Structure 1
Amino acid sequence: MKKKPGPGRSWLRVTGSVGPIGIATSVLWLSIIVLLPLAALTYNSFGDGWSGFWDAVTAPAALDSLKVTIVVSVIVAVVNVIMGTLIAWVLVRDEFPGKGIVNALIDLPFALPTIVASIVLLALYGPRSPINVHLNATQPGIIVALAFVTLPFVVRSVQPVLIEVDKEVEQAAASLGADNWTTFRQILLPTLAPAIISGGGLAFARAIGEYGSVVLIGGNIPRETQMASQYIQQQIEIDRPVNAAAVSVALLVISFVSLLVLRLFADRTARKEQESR
């Protein structure tokens, strides 16, 4: 008869299909690619002690760049939540000529170098704009650039969920006299909410750390259009690596907390949706 593992060793039991070797390999790779670089960055950020870290993060220029970054990123996330959900709806529910091309274009920001996006936007909305729209060195210009690179996160998060939605429920609601808005708000939105929130969180996290797409169109004007990523580069150029590392850690904390909160909220919403069925 096999002995049951003692209560003190129950946490050591490994279940699943990959086994201990697969789990160990995954943890090792995650440590090399993610954990060790983050640990090194955090260590460098405290090179001048806690007071040096705090002074670097709370410096007026640093706070201004963080404020601009957060405000712009929130706006971009909200815009893409609305427009990304609408685009996902059109791609799933509507048929039109060129639909395959449009669907492929959604993934273009993933493949296109972000600096190329900045050059294109500068040519289109810069001082020599062919359409006479000048957004160079303005926050609206940054919003357009960030909206371009973060749009796929929302569309690709919502699209597969929308495909799996049971249309019979919508048809039943329509037969009972519910209009399109009521059907979307009471039936579809609770189902799509976790995916929408997840996509919006990813868009926000990508936006606050973006550099390439805003480096040209943004103008890098302190207190107006200077993003935190540009401020970090500036600190490195003037030989202040500790300040750069400190602001980088602040961005990491903001990204992690926002994603964690949104993930918890999305999971809670998903559980409520399953319990209501």
Structure 2
Amino acid sequence: MSFLPTVKKQRVIPGFGLTMGFTLLYLTFIFLIPVAGLLLYTSFMSWENFWAAISHPQVVQSYKLSFGASLAGATINLIFGSLVAWVLVRYAFPGKKLIDALVDLPFALPTAVAGIALVTLYASTGWVGQYLEVFGIRIAYSQLGVVVALTYIGLPFVVRTVQPVLEDLEAEREEASASLGASRFTTIRRVILPSLLPALLTGYALAFARAVGEYGSVVFISGNMPYRTEITPLLIVAKAEQYDYHGAAAIGTVMLLAAFALLLLINGLQWWASRRSH
């Protein structure tokens, strides 16, 4: 039987009760109260008025464009963002640090500035758009322009999510796979992809969530044409400016619930991929 005194382990950060209390307080004021306020404000509407606000053909078309373009932009970033992360981790070349820093540019650049820059590039008289116009490709003031803008602002989320995982993934595993006779495709499918899949899904979810709520860069390059290039956040702002707060809240509630459902699905896939990889 030991009579040595028990020494309580000291923690740098305060205990669970205090930190949990601050966490709940912070989340309540930053997240829960605004979301609950939106849902509560919408609940004051009658079902007929709510349905009329969210099912108007112009609003439905904006749903299709917002979610469709967000999925397209996130998918493009999933592919090419992974390639960018791979190049930055696996290869050494002149200007690598500069390219690595440029990846974070959409984080720092105001979205309105990004929108003006994209219009300058891709308008029919722009530096790039004038050459694409010859082939009948129009980016500015079209749905394609919306996809380009959402791809631009979502790229860092995929790169910065995949890059740390690649840095922890030893190159020796790929060399061992090749030395055992596996082809490059087999190495990617059986060695690299299982380790990267949770990070890829996380980056995809973050890029999609960021794109759904994007406003500043899209309004410049889309042209905001009704039934063609109007995004849902633009309609919410327009209704708020017209003092139709109930209509804005109704559309915002639909966007909130749809984003929650899609993120829940993607997080479920991420959990499944992580469990499968382990």
Q: Same fold (TM over 0.5)?
A: yes
Q: 1:1-277 to 2 correspondence within 5 Å? A: 18-131=15-128, 132=130, 133=132, 134-274=138-278
Supply the distance in 1 between the matched residues of 2:227 and 2:180 (Cα, whole angstroms): 54
Cα shift readout 1:68-112 (whole Å, capped 9, x = no counterpart): 111111111110000000000000001110100111111111111
Secondary structure (helix, strand or coil) at the match of 1:217 reads helix
**Do the aligned residues in 2 keep the contact of 1:125 with 1:136 (CA within 8 Å)?**
yes
Supply the distance in 2 between the matched residues of 1:38 and 1:245 (Cα, whole angstroms): 11
* CA apart distance, 1:50: 2.8
Percent identity over paired residues: 41
**Do the aligned residues in 2 keep the contact of 1:88 with 1:155 (CA within 8 Å)?**
yes
Amino acid at match of 1:241: Y
Amino acid at match of 1:223: Y
Report the aligned-residue RMSD.
1.4
Supply the distance in 1 between the matched residues of 2:250 and 2:123 (Cα, whole angstroms): 33
Supply the distance in 2 between the matched residues of 1:242 and 1:135 (Cα, whole angstroms): 34
Supply the distance in 2 between the matched residues of 1:214 and 1:117 (Cα, whole angstroms): 9
* CA apart distance, 1:192: 0.5
Amino acid at match of 1:236: A
- Structure 1 residues 205-214 or 121-130, which shifts more? 121-130
Supply the distance in 1 between the matched residues of 2:51 and 2:205 (Cα, whole angstroms): 27
* CA apart distance, 1:250: 1.0
Amino acid at match of 2:63: L
* CA apart distance, 1:17: 5.9
Supply the distance in 1 between the matched residues of 2:235 and 2:15 (Cα, whole angstroms): 43
Supply the distance in 2 between the matched residues of 1:210 and 1:46 (Cα, whole angstroms): 26
Cα shift readout 1:156-178 (whole Å, capped 9, x = no counterpart): 11111111113222111101122
Structure 2: 5+ residue runs without aligned partners?
1-12, 133-137
Supply the distance in 2 between the matched residues of 1:17 and 1:189 (Cα, whole angstroms): 39
Report the counterpart of residue 10 of structure 1 in structure 2.
none
Secondary structure (helix, strand or coil) at the match of 1:214 reads helix
**Do the aligned residues in 2 keep the contact of 1:46 with 1:52 (CA within 8 Å)?**
no
Secondary structure (helix, strand or coil) at the match of 2:224 reads coil
Equivalent residues, number: 259
**Do the aligned residues in 2 keep the contact of 1:68 with 1:223 (CA within 8 Å)?**
no
TM-score, normalised with respect to structure 2: 0.89
Amino acid at match of 1:169: R
Structure 1: 5+ residue runs without aligned partners?
1-15
Supply the distance in 2 between the matched residues of 1:112 and 1:74 (Cα, whole angstroms): 22
